[in-house]
């Protein structure tokens, strides 16, 4: 077995205070077991980069005081309503917001993936977002007159963190159609992955899985964590626990309710859950 395999808590311990950490949207594979471990450890001052938006995992980390900056196009609980801990943190000014758009976040990660300092993007022109991002530049297209273009700097996270269905014993990780996870792994300095199971099959040796597999070269550490995305679902493995998510959305409306949620469903679970 690859030496990259470890426990969930040991994997989460590789994320230091102040890290720039890329996390996926709820539909892409959220490493919720690792998120709970981070909260129990009391990590601080994270810079969350949501790819391209986030939901429950971001709201929980923000509510637990783990986050200083959020770079995002949206933080929402979807059908369960607004993200209450995120909303309160923004209102109180306890976190800094770096407004973005979905294409801008994807483009910034692609620039880092390609090893270039910036990437041009057109769709942001004319939007109010430009007024809030002094690191985005509007320049003249050097190949045409009177044709402005936006330059978005590369986004190079310290850590990419996500959950996937399966890894093989060589450390390769199958992500299926979720190609944004591949870009995250390419762009980040370190990639930490929890998986449902470990397979004896070489995922890169089979054409049916190879195209959707991140080679072990890009994976820093892996932890086996059955139901590791719970209460969020995982495509092809299990559905979201709608009742639990509804409970979270209800309790997280108040600081007291959120603390009760953490006590009962995060702190009480103990290590590696």
Judged against a pLDDT cut of 70, whether residue 224 lies above it is answered with yes
Q: What is the CA radius of gyration of the chain?
A: 19
Checking DSSP bridges between strand 173-174 and strand 213-214, what pairing results, if any? Answer: antiparallel
Strand partners, 76: 82
User: Which pLDDT belongs to residue 273?
Assistant: 67
Residue 260 is predicted with a pLDDT of 98
Beta bridge partners of 195: 164, 224
Tokens standing for 87?
A: 């909303």
CATH topology assigned to domain 5-101+155-269 = Glutaconate Coenzyme A-transferase (3.40.1080)
Residue 19, judged by CB atoms within 10 A of its CB (0-12, 13-18, 19+), counts as buried
What confidence score (pLDDT) does residue 145 get?
A: 86
Give the pLDDT score at 269. Answer: 80
- 23-80 pLDDT, tens digit per residue, is 999 999 999 999 999 999 999 999 999 999 999 999 999 999 999 999 999 999 999 9
Distance in angstroms (rounded) separating the CA atoms of residues 71 and 85: 16
Q: Going by DSSP bridges, is the β-strand pair 148-153/137-140 parallel, antiparallel, or unpaired?
A: antiparallel
Q: How far apart, in whole angstroms, are the C-alpha atoms of residue 40 and residue 18?
A: 16
pLDDT in tens, 142-188: 998 889 999 999 999 999 999 999 999 999 999 999 999 999 999 99
Instruction: Classify residue 269 by its DSSP letter.
Output: G
Structural domain boundaries in the chain: 5-101+155-269, 118-153
DSSP output for 75-115: BB-GGG-B-HHHHHHHHHT-SEEEE--HHHHHHHHHHHHHT
d(CA 27, CA 74): 14
């Amino acid at each position: 077995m690859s030496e990259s395999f470890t426990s969930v808590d040991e994997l989460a311990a590789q994320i230091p205070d102040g890290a720039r950490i890329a996390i996926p949207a709820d539909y892409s594979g959220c490493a919720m077991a690792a998120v709970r471990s981070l909260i129990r450890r009391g990590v601080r001052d994270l810079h969350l980069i949501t790819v391209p938006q986030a939901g429950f995992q971001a709201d929980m980390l923000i509510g637990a005081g783990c986050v200083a900056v959020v770079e995002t196009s949206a933080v929402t609980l979807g059908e369960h309503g607004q993200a209450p801990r995120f909303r309160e943190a923004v209102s109180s000014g306890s976190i800094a917001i770096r407004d973005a758009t979905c294409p801008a976040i994807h483009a910034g990660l692609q620039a880092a993936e390609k090893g270039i300092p910036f990437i041009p993007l057109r769709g942001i022109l004319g939007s109010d977002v430009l007024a809030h991002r002094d690191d985005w530049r509007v320049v003249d297209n050097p190949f045409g007159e009177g044709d402005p273009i936006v330059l978005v700097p590369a986004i190079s996270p310290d850590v990419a963190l996500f959950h996937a269905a399966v890894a093989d014993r060589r450390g390769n990780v199958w992500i299926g159609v979720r190609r944004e996870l591949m870009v995250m792994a390419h762009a980040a300095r370190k990639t930490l992955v929890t998986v449902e199971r470990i397979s004896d099959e070489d995922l890169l040796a089979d054409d049916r899985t190879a195209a959707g597999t991140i080679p072990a070269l890009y994976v820093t550490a892996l932890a086996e964590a059955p139901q590791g995305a719970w209460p969020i679902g995982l495509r092809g493995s299990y559905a979201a626990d709608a009742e639990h998510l509804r409970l979270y959305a209800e309790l997280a409306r108040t600081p007291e309710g959120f603390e009760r949620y953490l006590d009962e469903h995060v702190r009480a679970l103990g290590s590696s859950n």
